[in-house]
Amino acid sequence: MAARARGGGRVLEMPARRSREASPERTKVWTEPRAPRQERRVPVLYYLCRNGQLEHPHFMEVPLSSVEGLYLR
């Protein structure tokens, strides 16, 4: 706020706001703790072949280590 007196040419000013530095506690950003990652397992059904004959089906669950899926060799 500034005001000029009519004849004196005097200017009154409000004191300037001091720039405050933020305390380290105020600058911390909250991050959610990560949930424990559960090992994802996928079912696999396969058949073995002996002497040209298929055996009974075999089933097992294997851990999925890739987000791209499961590739069998």
Which tens digits make up the pLDDT trace of 7-24? Answer: 566 666 666 555 566 666
| Distance, CA of 68 to CA of 65 (rounded, Å) | 9
| Distance, CA of 44 to CA of 16 (rounded, Å) | 72
pLDDT of residue 36: 76
pLDDT of residue 51: 94
pLDDT of residue 14: 61
Kindly give the pairing relationship between strand 41-50 and strand 11-12. unpaired
CA distances for 30 relative to 21, 25, 26, 35, angstroms: 20, 11, 11, 15
- Residue extents of the structural domains in the chain: 39-73
Which tens digits make up the pLDDT trace of 15-69? Answer: 655 556 666 666 777 788 887 777 888 899 999 999 999 999 999 999 888 878 8
The predicted model scores a pTM of 0.42
